[in-house]
Amino acid sequence: MQIHRHPWYHQRHHNGSRFRNIWAPPRDVSFLKAARFFVDFAFQQKDNVLPPVQAVDPEMLAAPPARLRLTWIGHASTLVQTPAFSLLTDPVFGQRASPLSFTGPARKTPPALRLAALPSIDLVLLSHDHYDHLDFESLRSTVRRHDPLLLAPLGVGRLVRSAGARRVLELDWWQYVDVEGWRFHCTPARHFSGRGLTNRDATLWAGWFLEALDGSQTLYFAGDSGYAEHFTAIHERLGAPEVALLPIGAYRPRWFMESVHVDPAQAVQAFVDLQAAHFIPIHWGTFDLAEEPLQEPPQLLKQAAAEQNVADCVHLLDIGGVFSLA
């Protein structure tokens, strides 16, 4: 498979052997202020209301959809099924988004599917290397069972190969590859990367725009991103996706999160910028990663969508919820 570049390809986000957030780096926060936030957050008491988790019908999963079917597994993990293939976005089935098994953000809601219950997986889309998006055990199990093709941003390939993946393609922003009758575009995101103290921004972060080569359907998976002009650029260059998977959680406090995570109102604005037809909210209700309670993102999302007159376009799924295009 050959990787292609769009005419507008650039490397402004490259920074020597690392990468950079070209719209604005995370705010220059002192070490002491950041450390105090994490200490305070660790002892914060919240009244979290967990989203419902519904059972997924295995017979439905076994039957290919007429066009497109999405099953929200939890957080940024979604099962995407088309008549041609099935794929996973950022598969995380573990109990902690952490390098350690005994500490770090714990899963508040179970995944809607067990790894063993997944249908055959042909592809995996990875957005970046953070622990709540890249879980080695989940990836190892997926690779052992299905040997899928992994599409990842630059630098992430080395990590996933160490987890046993053999079929890996790494793409830069505004590159694309054709697979199974679909075109997979690697698109910009406003975020950062790193799994430790010494590898900050050593790998790239990205979203993915998928389009059937026959023009029948399109899908956008944002991964993790703060708000910036790239949502408008994606629409202008690739068109309006039918379905947009956009994050809505982990946005408070804004002095800390604004440059890397949209809040619900910004997620709605990103949806408007994309001019998409359907909005599936992700990245909420699974891991407690920020100051807001887990039930707040969908509440604020509904308000913002009503203010922008797009409430009918928002499909707020339970974990295990299914959205289909007929």
Please provide the size of the chain in residues.
326
User: Model's pTM, two decimal places?
Assistant: 0.95
Distances in Å between the Cα of 45 and the Cα atoms of 40, 52, 203 are 10, 21, 34
Question: Is residue 303 scored above 90 in pLDDT?
Answer: yes
pLDDT in tens, 16-25: 999 999 997 6
Q: How far apart are CA 235 and CA 272, in angstroms?
A: 10
Give a yes or no: residue 301 inside a domain.
Answer: yes
Residue 266: burial class (beta carbons within 10 Å; 0-12, 13-18, 19+): buried
Give a yes or no: residue 293 inside a domain.
Answer: yes
Give a yes or no: residue 233 inside a domain.
Answer: yes
Domain count, the chain: 1
Write down the pLDDT at residue 88: 98
Which whole number is the average pLDDT over 272-296?
Answer: 97
Residue 325: burial class (beta carbons within 10 Å; 0-12, 13-18, 19+): middle
| CATH code assigned at 268 | 3.60.15.10
Give a yes or no: residue 56 inside a domain.
Answer: no
Give a yes or no: residue 211 inside a domain.
Answer: yes
pLDDT in tens, 245-281: 999 999 999 998 999 999 999 999 999 999 999 999 9
Give a yes or no: residue 24 inside a domain.
Answer: no
Give a yes or no: residue 100 inside a domain.
Answer: yes
Q: How far apart are CA 269 and CA 263, in angstroms?
A: 10
Residues spanned by the domain of 174: 67-325
CB 91 within 8 A of CB 142: yes
Distances in Å between the Cα of 51 and the Cα atoms of 93, 105, 112, 248, 291 are 17, 17, 12, 14, 17
pLDDT in tens, 58-117: 999 999 999 999 999 999 999 999 999 999 999 999 999 998 878 889 999 999 999 999
How many angstroms from the chain centroid is the CA of residue 122? 18
- The Cβ-side half-sphere exposure at 198, using a 13 Å CA radius, reads 0
